[in-house]
Amino acid sequence: MTNQFGLTRIGQISIAVHDLERAVGFYRDTLGMRFLFQAPPGLAFFECGGIRLMLALPEGGSDHHTSVIYYDVADIHAAADTLKGRGVVFESEPHFVAQLGESELWMGFLRDPDGNLLAVMSEVPG
C-alpha cells in the first residue's frame, strides 16, 4: 500500500532578525507587505499571497541567515524601480536566468536590514 501523503503547501516562513521594529518597517514600508500582527516574545507576522511570513528574534543566540525567499512579481523591472525608489540596493540587478518554453525567468537579489537574502522573480514572454 502506497502512502499518498506529501507536503503540498507552505503555511508560514520564518526569518531571523535582530531589530524587530526596523525589520517590520522594512517589510511593511519598503517591501509593501501587509502587516498582520505582533506577538510576544519578539514576533511579527505578514501576509504574503496566502503564506504567513514570521519575523522573529533569534532563539538561543543563534545568528544565522535564512534560505532565500523568492517574491513573484508581474513586472520585475517596475518592481525593482519601485524598491529602488524606497532605498533598496540590489545585490544583483534583475537579470535573465533561464528560458522556460515560451517565457523567460528573470530574477534580482537584495538583502533585508539583517542581511537575509531576498529575491524578486518574474516570468516574462520571451
Q: Domain 65-126, CATH 3.10.20.600 — does that match?
A: no
Residue positions counted in the chain: 126
Tell me the C-alpha distance between 63 and 38, whole Å.
21
* Residue 2 confidence (pLDDT): 60
| pLDDT, position 40 | 85
Number of C-beta neighbours around residue 76 at 10 A = 22
How many whole angstroms separate alpha carbon 60 and alpha carbon 21? Answer: 20
Please, what are the averages of pLDDT over each run of 10 residues along the chain (126 residues)?
A: 71 91 97 94 93 87 72 93 95 93 93 91 89
pLDDT at 62: 60
Q: How many helices (H) and strands (E) does the chain have?
A: 2, 8
Q: Residues 44, 20: contact at Cβ < 8 Å?
A: yes
Instruction: Reduce the DSSP state of residue 85 to 3 states and report it.
Output: helix
Residue-level pLDDT at 23? 97
Q: Which CATH number fits domain 11-58: 3.20.20.70, 3.30.720.120, 3.40.50.12280, 3.40.50.1100?
A: 3.30.720.120
Q: Where are the domains of the chain?
A: 11-58, 65-126
Please tell me the predicted confidence (pLDDT) of residue 4: 81
d(CA 44, CA 33): 12
**What is residue 60's predicted lDDT score, i.e. its pLDDT?**
65
- The pLDDT, as a whole number, for residue 10 is 83
